[in-house]
Amino acid sequence: MKIAILSNGPGNYSTKRLKEVALERGHEVEVIKYKECYASIAQSNPGVSYRGEDLGHYDAIIPRIASYMTRYGTAIVRQLEMQGMYTISGSLAISRSRDKLRSMQLLTKAGVGIPKTVFSRNSADIDDLIDKLDGTPVIIKLARGTHGNGVVLAETKKAAKSVLQAFYLTNEDGTNILIQEFVKESAGVDIRAFVVGGRVVASMKRQSLDDDFRSNLHKGGEGTPVKLTLEERKMCVKAAKAMGLNVAGVDFMRSERGALILEVNASPGFGIEKITGRDVATPIIEYIEQNAKRRPKKDKIGA
């Protein structure tokens, strides 16, 4: 098959691994910088080009869209989808995974456990909101934050109020901010499950090394392999499915009431391979081999 990896970082470990495995398995593969792609949306001759070449001849694409370029990246993927190209990750699924509020709504609808979450665009209602979460401390999150950067722990109502006021100043539209119960039982620790085609192929625990409550590796967290229970595996697979993603990095915390999902990432990093010794690239290429020949499935999530 002819496979295009849409990635702005040809030197990234994830990109290199996908390319290596695809070549090993006898495919033709090219890394395409989607930031340099351009599209024609004319009725007569629609298409996406890269350095003068039309991408229409590929059999499948693997989008690895960075969060800072979600809009452009998903527009390129969408254009290719509209031409009938097979993509392992749909443009709709990628964009919805980048919005934490929308994701939380879909996950609860699917019956997946999440931390208690509220949203509002008025800091005047903060007392009632915090009561709904059974009091402080609470976590306040920007819906489009990444790498732990938009996540704040507020110890008191007063602190929560000032953080919210500051956030609302820069975000007029209140849907950008979520308030969550603080899952204290496993503060500073979370688990990443790498899901491919309805199966957890690797899982690791991440722990912050200082006293930070955020376990993001970008924030200096450390990863170790971890074994998931059958129930946790089922929950992660369900979460990926609820988001409409065939490849997903599902992050959750172990709490007193079981696994609580924090987020579902559409372009999970492959660093988990180095930590767990599991190969996550091969299942992805295999999934494409088994599914690309069929017509792409319609996204039926409806939100």
Ligand X SMILES: Nc1ncnc2c1ncn2[C@@H]1O[C@H](COP(=O)(O)OP(=O)(O)O)[C@@H](O)[C@H]1O
Task: Take residue 201 and report the two structure tokens written for it.
Answer: 């192929």
Q: Interaction with ligand X in 175-204: which residues (CB under 6 A)?
A: 180-183, 187, 190
Site string for ligand X, 125-144 (x = CB under 6 A): --------------x-x---
* Residue nearer to ligand X on the CB measure, 58 or 213: 213
The yes or no reply on residue 205 touching ligand X (CB under 6 A) is no
Smallest distance, Å, CB 271 to ligand X? 14
| Per CB under 6 A, 216 contacts ligand X | yes
Site size toward ligand X (CB under 6 A) is 23
Q: Which stretch binds ligand X (CB under 6 A): 86-94, 126-134, 195-203, 212-220?
A: 212-220
> Rounded CA gap, 200 and 180, in Å?
26
Residue 214 binds to ligand X (criterion: CB under 6 A): yes
Rule CB under 6 A: say whether 213 interacts with ligand X: yes
CA dist., res. 264 & res. 252, Å (int): 9
- Least Å from the CB of residue 9 to ligand X: 19
How far apart CA 46 and CA 82 sit, in angstroms, is: 9
Least spacing, CB of residue 84 vs ligand X, in Å: 33
> Interface mask (CB under 6 A) for ligand X, residues 229-268, using x and -?
----------------------x----------xx-----
Distances (CA, A) of 197 to 12, 88, 175, 240, 246: 23, 9, 31, 9, 5
Q: At CA 143, angle to CA 70 and CA 225, rounded to 5? A: 80
Which residues contact ligand X (rule: CB under 6 A)?
115, 139, 141, 145-151, 180-183, 187, 190, 213-216, 251, 262-263
